[in-house]
Amino acid sequence: MRESEVPAVPPGGLFRYSRWTVMLVAGALLGTGAALVAVGRLMGNPFAYYIAALLFMCLWIYQTMVLARFRATNWLVRVGNAEVYIKFRSYLNHHLPATDPTVVCILFRDMRQTRLVRELQDVQDTDGRGTLRRRRMLVEIDLKEAAPEIEAALHAERRAQAPKVERWYGSSAAKYRHYPVRMAAPGTVSIEWGVAPAARHFLAIMAVHAPVDASEIVRDYTALGITESDDGESRLIELAENGQTLDAIRLARSIYGYDLIQAKLFVEGLSARAKA
């Protein structure tokens, strides 16, 4: 369904990306940059001006995220009286056509279970000398039946093209590779929880309407083995579709022991199979 078709929900049923977080970061960048400019003027230090210019440039780039969080489109989940609405279009892609279907509605009676999942993943850092541990929180909703229509909608969103915008330097089309919702399995909707209130609060609301698994599942991709290839392939496809191809290749090398060329071909093959 379209976002404009989503009805109002009861108080406390709206989950969106925090506005205060981006304001604090933006304020820190602005304050630090201003302080460096003052230091540069007082001490005649050109290096302070250079660092301040970098910070102001970061702030200019960061403004897109700041402004997007103050739009009405900044939400991920809404909980109604008999259903939950999940917006699978990123709030950063608010400039894409509003006529596109971007929300799925799941009735409580169609849910088998809702649970919390914490994922751990080790990937090589950019210079290849060490590893970085990534953590993310997911909320997974198991449905009583497979939902190919949801999977088709998510696939269409990933393939959607951004409209061209005329600017003083020419035309451009920008689309952020941020996809907060995916199908972890044919009947499982997975939501990357980066919104507020916390995931536990969402589960507490859901527990009133549908079965909830109170325990937290930990999926440690830092120790994936060959016997867990299904989970590994699913994660690799997700990384590749999100534009994190290098991370997918690094993870493939870690899981399967491939060399660089083998890992690249393996990830490309998975991506082509997923798009077929």
Contacts 24+ apart (CB under 8 A), 253-259: 254/122, 254/123, 254/124, 254/224, 255/224, 255/225, 255/226, 255/229, 256/226, 256/232
State pLDDT tens for residues 38-87: 999 888 888 999 999 999 999 998 888 899 999 999 999 999 999 999 99
pLDDT value for 263: 82
* pLDDT above 70: percentage of residues in the chain: 87
pLDDT value for 254: 72
List C-alpha distances in Å: 155 to 101, 129, 202, 274: 12, 35, 26, 9
Mean pLDDT computed over every residue of the chain: 85
In the beta sheet, which residues pair with residue 16? 196
Q: How far apart are CA 102 and CA 131, in angstroms?
A: 35
pLDDT value for 169: 60
CA-nearest of 209, 256, 248, 205 to 228 is 256
State pLDDT tens for residues 97-129: 999 999 999 999 999 999 999 987 665 555 556
Residues 215-231 have a mean pLDDT of: 62
Confidence of residue 145 (pLDDT cuts 50, 70, 90): very high
* pLDDT above 90: percentage of residues in the chain: 51
State pLDDT tens for residues 187-221: 999 999 999 999 999 999 999 999 999 888 887 76
Residues 89-101 have a mean pLDDT of: 93
Confidence of residue 136 (pLDDT cuts 50, 70, 90): confident
pLDDT value for 227: 40
State pLDDT tens for residues 160-174: 888 877 665 666 678
pLDDT value for 88: 96
